[in-house]
Amino acid sequence: MKIRYTINKCFIALTAFIFLLAISCKDLGELNVNPNGVDPENADLNLLLPTMITGVGKTVVSLGFGHIAGVMQHTQHDGWSSGHNDYDWDNASHSWSGYYGILRNTDEFQKKAEAGNYEFHQGVALVIKAYTFGLIADLWGDAPYTEALQAESGTEYFKPIFDDQRDIYLGLLADLETANSLLSKDNEAYFNVNATQDILYEGDASKWRQLANSLALRYYMRLSAKEPSIAEEGIKRITSDPSSYPLILQAENDATVGYIGQSPADSWPSNMVFDPDPSGDYMRVKLCATLVDAMQELNDPRLGVWANKVAIPLELVEGEGVDQIVDGKRQISQDIVDAYEAAWQVGVDFDQDFVGIPPSVFAASQYNLNPNLDQGVFNPHASQLNDRYMETHGDLLQMRLLSAAEVHFLLAEASLHGWAPGTAEGHFTTGIQQSFNTWGVGAESDTYIEALNFDGLESIIQQKWIASWTAAAEAWFDYRRTGYPDLQTGESAKRAALPLRFYYHFDDEISKNTTNAEAAISKLEPTQYKGNDVSNNSAWSKTWLLQGTNKPY
């Protein structure tokens, strides 16, 4: 047996050698071509477009329905919750690799567009690049920009410099100005436009142009505290010439992408079709009490669109030791309440309609006398998300990149500075109306608005915060520069204040580009909430955008 085994080994080795010798005479490049695939040199650039658009859209949802929804107190998790509820982040928590993946696809798309002189595609590429680079600057601060996406040009670009956050914003604003020009023609003037592949606007250049200018408006306002003259010039230029700088002003033109719902990758993330686990994403996401209380105080009908009423309300009754279900309500006596509050250090909510979980509480899983003490389970005494969020797709399950409501709230804020025509209150009112239209309750907007007291910037940002449901990252960026809404952390939070940025990721961003990463870290300004972070690379350090503003703390 041993002799036969040795002969077999020799035969296999000799065969492999002969095979390698034979193919060594061929052009090795031929071996890297998939005979059943499409040659990248000849591939239609339109095939890249859905991947680029959904890459941005799913990123917005993963932030705004994910951990940033926890930071901005739209939602809380009642299972495996520390990253969501308590900002238990570190330098292994968030990587920008996926963002640069989107940018690599977009860069390839742009190169093909320039080679073919396709102006529509060039404009679209600039919009998607600006959106993605803007997110990177918003979330981390300084980052590779001018030397990014150039690895094919030589080894000197393997470790790109981290551009200043300010320069990234100014660069993307210049790109959006170019995009506005490129997208200014009638659709008939463009070539090789495939409406089917453009899953955002079906090849309509005018709508992409509105997105470009609305995105520019967003970033000019982002700069308003640090570069007021630049912000004023940009906003006045856009708002004073609507024919040259059209904006997204109606909800029907919102930059949204729906889910197909055919697989986990193209379905709403909390669906229970592909994730039927009773402790899965849908079940462990609950409304946060901060949002619920604010909306109830305003009799906001959007709350019922986003959340279910509690299945079994709690009712306080007289007596001792009373804990029973009567007529669909759980009746409890004060001694039961006292024992629960003493054990878990959190109060009981007797609201009969909607109950949210307070932010950063230790008892998220046990909140409101939940009889199911496991993590991420059905809580009959707290509001689950509306049933639609169990589905894979639907009219309201959208990747929300930018909305008419946001544009009007930006115009309202600009009007406070005297940078935009119209009144701040007028734009504020229209922003609310457009948000109500988005969520299918437009008929109720007038009654809602009549009951409001407009109080300038605080009112604008509060309504913008509410309207950013499932897109809460934008609310976070507003909070950082304005301090509104006035959100407070709970006892289980990692720090006694909301975080301000993502850590630079050690494996993906620091260890691979140490010198440039450390230079960027040295420019961050630590706050009193830095805690035990070993360097300025802290979620509680300020990027250039916040330094010297005294915001939000």
User: Where do you find CATH 1.25.40.390 in the chain?
Assistant: 95-247+507-553
Backbone phi and psi for residue 164, each to the nearest 5 degrees, phi listed first: -60, 145
Task: List, for the chain, all residue ranges whose pLDDT scores fall below the cut of 50.
Answer: 1-38
Contact partners, residue 322, CB within 8 Å, separation at least 6: 331, 332, 333, 336
Instruction: Provide the edge-to-edge strand list for the sheet that holds 329-333.
Output: 314-317, 329-333, 323-326
- Between CA 276 and CA 272 the distance in angstroms is 4
Contact partners, residue 402, CB within 8 Å, separation at least 6: 211, 214, 215, 218, 248, 254, 255
Outline where DSSP puts E strands in 44-118: 75-77
174 within 8 A of 146, measured Cβ to Cβ: no
Identify which of 463, 502, 505, 498 has the alpha carbon closest to the alpha carbon of residue 483. 498
- Global confidence as pTM: 0.92
First and final CA of the chain: distance in angstroms? 78
- Between CA 525 and CA 228 the distance in angstroms is 21
- Between CA 53 and CA 73 the distance in angstroms is 27
- Between CA 498 and CA 488 the distance in angstroms is 8
Instruction: Number of helices (H) and strands (E) in the chain: give both, helices first.
Output: 20, 11
Q: What is the DSSP letter of 75?
A: E
**3-class DSSP assignment, residue 329:** strand
Please list, residue by residue across 492-524, b when 16 or more beta carbons sit within 10 angstroms of its beta carbon and e when fewer do. Answer: bbbbebbbbbbbbbeebbbeebeebbeebbebb
Distances 481 to 70, 288, 327, 467 between C-alpha atoms, Å: 18, 23, 49, 18
Q: Which CATH number fits domain 95-247+507-553: 1.20.1250.20, 3.40.50.970, 1.25.40.390, 1.10.260.40?
A: 1.25.40.390
468 within 8 A of 475, measured Cβ to Cβ: yes
- Percentage of residues of the chain with pLDDT beyond 70: 92
CA dihedral 190→193→199→202, nearest 10 degrees, is 50
Q: What is the pLDDT at residue 374?
A: 85
Q: What is the pLDDT at residue 42?
A: 66
Q: What is the pLDDT at residue 22?
A: 38
| pLDDT per position as a tens digit, 113-150 | 999 999 999 999 999 999 999 999 999 999 999 999 99
Q: What is the pLDDT at residue 449?
A: 98
